[in-house]
Amino acid sequence: MSGHMTPDEFRRYGKQVIDWIADYHEKIESYPVLSQVQPGEVAAGLPDHPPEQGEGFDTLLADLDRVIMPGITHWQHPDFFAYFPSNVSGPAILGDLLSAGIGIQGMLWATSPACTELETRVLDWLAELLDLPARFRSDGRGRDGAGTAGGGVIQDSASSACLVAILAALERAGGGTAAREGIARRHTLYVSSQTHSSLEKAARITGIGAANVRVVDVDPVTLAMDPAHLDALLAQDAAAGAVPVLVCATVGTTSTTAIDPVPEIGAVCREHGVWLHVDAAYAGAAAVCPEFRWINAGLEEYADSYATNPHKWLLTNFDCTALWVADREPLIGALSILPEYLRNTATTSGEVIDYRDWQISLGRRFRALKLWSVIRWYGAEGLREHIRTGVRLARELAGWIRDDPDFELFEDPRFGLVCFRPRWEGVPDEEADTATLVLMERLNASGDLYLTHTKARGRVLLRLAIGGPATGDRHVRAAWERIRQESGQVRLGDGGPDMRG
């Protein structure tokens, strides 16, 4: 078989693929949540060399079932509770398919005006749905009502959003010298122990250096960043000749969904003239519900950039991170390079957005189509219902844990994440933590559910994240019963906990 796939062949195989995906979602509960293969097992099922002659698509679909599916951990499984949800939905899948089918490269407005203008409008829609400050919208202005407008852009991940924010902050802090001449002095970033690790990686990439990532103390109970310690570090570093660049405040940390006090942090940043980036990768989606808009406190007054991931909890398949800036000028100043081969009338007119200047790479996919599809299909009401369902299920689970004398709830869940642990009464802390990890491994090995863990206030906790569109009451109840049952099978003794039932 050779040659390009004809439109008729595409129709035939495309229908098979759509049917395959629909069948997969219908029977997804029949799979073990966590892949059961051993390292190298998938590769062993694949030929060592590529085919000399083209093969039919039917054989590829057969190998998908035979070789690939055993090596899949099923993120859309209703019993997937490990990491924050990575939602997919029918409208998002179809939007992504349309994007692939159209096949454009949206680096410039001129290379497909609809790619740029739809993204600008959809990010404005999302800012409205989340009740974000007007200055984050494409027609907004700076805090004083003057200056360059802000706006939104779709990045591939919150990690990239943090990296782009740091580059914009460097541009503003040094008046463009970092981009032109490199970093000649010590520059510093400010995070807490609960901040996502992507900030340290971004420090390495930008040349700031991991050693110049300053770790601010957290409240020992809430795990929220301490503004007073931030203030002291900023003053200390400035006095030592450093250039403070950016503070990252988190709304809903990965570990426990702790919330940094953005208004207080913002006031400190304002005093020291430092860029404030707010990372709400997971929890930001909750603001589609009016009852959760308290998480936006401080954004209007202080935030220079803000990011959240529709691909986590807002039914839009990966990758889709929404990043907004209050002033696009330092962002574009840091990232815009215009070689001759990219010059065109629209760009030089200054009347259009070229999103290549808002991201690291030159090329970009038409991601806005899937977010547009989701918002139009669900509407604000449907999105709110999805968020509220996850929160309700998390609160019900927390109630069962609170009422069980053999378990300890870390704290009442704010969103869809529940952190807890067995009490293991009379067992030393280190052995109890090991027992908790053994329990998690037993549960995950069963294939019936998938959890992860964290460590907070010195103790190992189980993390159970609820938010998948297929997850319902019966799945959460069954998971809790399985956890209770399995905890009784972890044997404790002089040799420590073991896996035997």
Q: Is the dihedral of CA 421, 423, 429, 433 positive or negative?
A: negative
Q: Give me the chain's average pLDDT, please.
A: 92
What lies within 8 Å, CB to CB, of 125 at 6+ separation is 375
Cα angle 26, 29, 34 (rounded to 5 degrees) comes to 130
Task: Give the model's pLDDT for residue 103.
Answer: 92
Pairing of β 452-456 and β 459-465? antiparallel
How would DSSP label each residue in 200-248?
Answer: HHHHHHHTS-GGGEEEE-B-TTT--B-HHHHHHHHHHHHHTT-EEEEEE
Please state the pTM of the whole predicted model: 0.92
Amino acid at position 100, single letter? A
Q: With cut-offs at 50, 70 and 90, classify the pLDDT of residue 500.
A: very low
The Cα–Cα gap between 478 and 449 comes to 9
Q: What is the mean pLDDT of residues 206-212?
A: 92
Q: What is the mean pLDDT of residues 416-438?
A: 94
Residue 83: pLDDT over 80: yes
Task: Give the model's pLDDT for residue 494.
Answer: 43
The Cα–Cα gap between 50 and 46 comes to 10
Q: Which residue has the higher pLDDT, 180 or 92?
A: 92
Q: With cut-offs at 50, 70 and 90, classify the pLDDT of residue 65.
A: very high
Alpha-carbon distance values, 189 to 66, 160, 395, 479 (Å)? 48, 16, 36, 40
Task: Give the model's pLDDT for residue 238.
Answer: 95
Task: Give the model's pLDDT for residue 492.
Answer: 66
The Cα–Cα gap between 378 and 198 comes to 31
To which H or E segment does residue 460 belong? strand 459-465
Q: Which regions of 27-171 does DSSP assign to beta strands (E)?
A: 151-155
How would DSSP label each residue in 296-318?
Answer: GTTHHHH-SEEEE-HHHHSS--S
Q: What is the mean pLDDT of residues 226-247?
A: 96
Reduced to 3 states (helix: H, G, I; strand: E, B; else coil), residue 49 is coil
pLDDT tens digit string along 367-422?
999 999 999 999 999 999 999 999 999 999 999 999 999 999 999 999 999 999 99
Q: Please choose, from the candidates 256, 280, 257, 276, the residue with its C-alpha nearest in 3D space to the C-alpha of residue 265.
A: 276
pLDDT tens digit string along 141-174?
544 555 568 999 999 998 999 999 999 999 999 8
Task: Give the model's pLDDT for residue 501.
Answer: 39
DSSP type of residue 172:
H
pLDDT tens digit string along 7-17?
999 999 999 99
The β-bridge partners of 251 are: 259
Q: What is the mean pLDDT of residues 465-469?
A: 96
Task: Give the model's pLDDT for residue 2.
Answer: 65
Task: Give the model's pLDDT for residue 175.
Answer: 87
The β-bridge partners of 275 are: 246
Supply φ then ψ for residue 249, to 5 degrees. -100, 140
Q: With cut-offs at 50, 70 and 90, classify the pLDDT of residue 495.
A: very low
Q: Please choose, from the candidates 485, 493, 497, 483, the residue with its C-alpha nearest in 3D space to the C-alpha of residue 435.
A: 497
Polymer length in residues for the chain: 501
Amino acid at position 331, single letter? L
The Cα–Cα gap between 445 and 454 comes to 18
Residue 29: pLDDT over 50: yes
pLDDT tens digit string along 291-316?
999 999 999 999 999 999 999 999 99
The Cα–Cα gap between 245 and 208 comes to 9
Task: Give the model's pLDDT for residue 149.
Answer: 86
Residue 193: pLDDT over 50: yes
Q: With cut-offs at 50, 70 and 90, classify the pLDDT of residue 350.
A: confident
Task: Give the model's pLDDT for residue 93.
Answer: 96
Q: Give the number of other Cβ atoms within 10 Å of residue 391's Cβ.
A: 20
- Max CA separation in the chain (angstroms): 77
Q: 367 in the Ramachandran plot: left (φ > 0), alpha (ψ -120 to 50) or beta?
A: alpha
Radius of gyration of the chain (CA): 24
pLDDT tens digit string along 315-329?
999 999 999 999 999
